[in-house]
Structure 1
Amino acid sequence: MQKRQQPPTYGGQALVEGVMFGGKEHTVTAIRRKDDSIDYFHLPKEKNRTRAKLKKIPFVRGIVALIESASIGSRHLTFSSDRYDVEPGEEKKEETEETSKLAMILGVAVVGVLSFLFGKFIFTLVPVFLAGALQFIVPGKTGQILLESLFKLILLLTYISLISMTPLIKRVFQYHGAEHKVINAYEDGLPMTVENVQSQSRLHYRCGSSFILFTVIVGMFIYFLVPTDPFWLRIVNRILLIPVVLGVSFEVLQLTNSVRNIPVLKYLGYPGLWLQLLTTKEPDDQQVEVAIASFEKLLEIEKHGVEVMPVIEASETGPESVPIN
């Protein structure tokens, strides 16, 4: 009996008034323009043998995937934020002098990676100092690690809750929900109609939000294996362990996704799904239409090739970036 072939795995990212989907070789964004039309942006994934080999190594592949995701995602985000509120034909050709200079020197992709790493450092170190300041109340290694993890969780939930109050981020979270609904509909083998997609859950096991929460949980257990005193050593440990925590958390995320259909083990992924109740919102039909358009355009490019798509203009985000209609 022939083994059933697994369908390709697709991932996505919510953007400003749009959604990006990525496959093995291509990434595509669809955004809703000011005149209610839908615009597209295609970015091929660069082929790199070294990176391809690293992505096959457990605990290393997660870090590589995260850096790649931050790099690609920042370029798609730049496209969506530059064009969503501009009438077609009136796109900005230049950003401010300061932004243009930064983009020229570092490149949009590098800026995205640096932003991700900076955020991770802040998210890791602030709870360490908060817990250390209360060491006279909660002494001992176990108490300090638990307190540090609690502060990290509070910081995460507070940050998400605060930014979700802004209208722009709320809409991004709605597109995040639309992205998950499309992936769930695809994985269930349903035709890509608004009705079918809307019937799906806005939560998904293989989500970056779940990954962020797993870094808190996984980090707590890893920190028990290293000393917390003296305080300077704790700080050094936390910094050096960032790639370890990221790598292990990625494997935990993959594990929870692979066992999500097993009755008892499916609960392993529930903490991440609970966090997604904050990072996703129910989308409206127009937002779902954009997500469907993005996913179908990606499938079309994978099937027929990007050369069949008419090029509008060269993109400011790099020579490999191609807006399409």
Structure 2
Amino acid sequence: MARNNSVTFRSENFQVTSKMNKDGKISIDSRKIYTDNKSGGEKLGIASLLSLVSSIPFLRGVMAMFEVYVNKKIGALVFLIIVLGIISPLVTGAESLMIPISTINLFAFIILSLTVFLLKFSEISKYHSAEHMVGNNFTHNRKMTLENVNKSSRIHRHCGTNLAILALIIFECVINLFNQLSVNILTPLLYVSAGIAFEIHVTDNKLLNKIFYPFYFVSGIIQFLTVTSHPSEKHLQVAIEAFKEIERLETEK
């Protein structure tokens, strides 16, 4: 994951964030990933529950929607508000608001356009590129040097952009079968779309990957043009340091 001044990599056992500080120095924050108290890592409770849900097909796609929240408590709060918004009308018997599909499409376009604009012209797009380039360098089994990383592509097959676009396509295909929909149905439909998209996104099925190759080709172009920008040496170095640290931790565990 890339943020405004940092890159985070996560392995099976560790999560490492490399951050560029205001003084121009890179700081590293690492933690071990556990789901039980005996291991001395993350405590039982929300972390364990999230870990369990993240292992269940389709539900883990819904969880991926909340990975963008740096503060997991805020993410959980947003999730709770959304769930209450769905359940409350069912309990109170309040009549749900019907929204024309054209309005939903316009709203989705505006949100998507604003998101792309804010990402493209921010430091995030450059750290995003650095994250992809380090990942591609690792995939091609090349030594993790600045020179090698700089030669790598900033388009990545497993970018979250691919997941978001695929979920949006599925969502749009479903809602445009109707003239209008209840506002209470929109969120569950979005969740279902995200769940289906996630399973396609992470599959290793060769046939399915061939079928979706045209989508990933087009999505790669979208990645290049909208959510990534050419990184400088500092952006690449931040990503490299994060990866080297997580590699070191995995080797020494």
Normalised to the residue count of structure 2, the TM-score between the two structures is 0.75
- State whether structure 2 residue 231 is matched by structure 1 residue 283: yes
Task: State the distance in 1 between where 2:169 and 2:62 align.
Answer: 17
Q: 1:116 to 1:20 in 2, by over 3 A?
A: farther
Find out whether 1:34 has 2:22 as its counterpart.
Answer: yes
Match of 1:245 among 176, 185, 193: 193
Counterpart residue number, 1:210: 162
Q: CA deviation at 1:57?
A: 3.0
Deviation at residue 245 of structure 1 after TM alignment: 1.7
Higher Cα Rg: structure 1 or 2?
Answer: 1
Equivalent in the alignment of 2:172: 220
2:11 aligned partner:
23
Determine the structure 2 residue equivalent to 1:61. 60
CA distance in 1, matches of 2:107, 2:165: 13
Q: CA deviation at 1:148?
A: 3.7
For 2:42, the equivalent position in structure 1 comes to: none
Q: How many residues align?
A: 227
2: CA distance, partners of 1:281 / 1:260: 32
- The answer as to whether partners of 1:18 and 1:32 remain within 8 angstroms in 2 is yes
Deviations 1:161-213 (A, max 9, x none): 14533xxxx21210110000000010111110111111111111211122221
CA distance in structure 2 between the partners assigned to 1:298 and 1:260 by the alignment? 32
Aligned to 2:111: 155
Relative contact order higher in (CA < 8 Å, ≥ 6 apart): 2
Partner amino acid, structure 2, of 1:185: N
2 CA distance for matches of 1:263 and 1:212? Answer: 19
Q: CA RMSD in A?
A: 3.2
- State the Cα distance separating 1:242 from its structure 2 match: 2.9
Q: 2:73 aligns with which of 110, 135, 153?
A: 110
Within a 5 Å distance, the mapping from 1:188-199 to structure 2 comes to: 188-199=140-151
Q: Aligned in 2, Cα 1:238/1:262: closer, same or farther, shift over 3 Å?
A: closer
Between the aligned partners of 1:27 and 1:299, the Cα distance in structure 2 is 11
Unaligned runs of 5+ in 2: 37-47, 83-96
Q: Structure 1's 29 and 65: CA in aligned 2 closer, same or farther, altered over 3 A?
A: same
Q: Residues 203, 114 of structure 1: CA spacing in aligned structure 2 closer, same or farther, 3 A cutoff?
A: farther
- Residue in structure 2 matched with residue 43 of structure 1 by the alignment: 31
Aligned position for 1:300: 248
Tell me: CA distance 1:186–1:118, structure 2 relative to 1, closer, same or farther (3 Å).
Answer: farther
Secondary structure of 2:35's counterpart equals coil
The separation in 1 between residues aligned to 2:111 and 2:65, in whole angstroms, is: 21
User: Of the candidates 270, 275, 278, which is equivalent to residue 217 of structure 2?
Assistant: 270
Deviates more, 1:196-205 or 1:41-50: 41-50
8 Å contact kept, 1:205–1:260: no
Residue 244 of structure 1: how far off its partner (Å): 1.0
User: Identity over aligned residues, as a percent?
Assistant: 25
1:260 touches 1:266 (CA, 8 Å); kept in 2?
no
The residue aligned with 1:85 is none
CA deviation string 1:15-73 (max 9, x = no partner) = 23221111112110111223332211113324166655543432122223444x34xx5
Could you tell me which amino acid in structure 2 is paired with residue 111 of structure 1? I
Counterpart of 1:34 in 2: which secondary structure?
coil
Answer whether contact 1:178 1:202 (CA < 8 A) is retained: yes
Residue 120 of structure 2 contacts residue 229 of structure 2 at CA under 8 Å; is this kept in 1?
no
1:203 alignment partner, SS class: coil
Q: TM-score, normalised by structure 1?
A: 0.60
Residue 92 of structure 1 corresponds to: none
Unaligned runs of at least 5 residues, structure 1 = 1-12, 75-107, 120-128, 133-143, 306-325
Greater mean alpha carbon deviation, residues 261-270 or residues 156-165: 261-270
Residue 186 of structure 1 corresponds to 138
Q: Which amino acid aligns with 2:24?
A: D
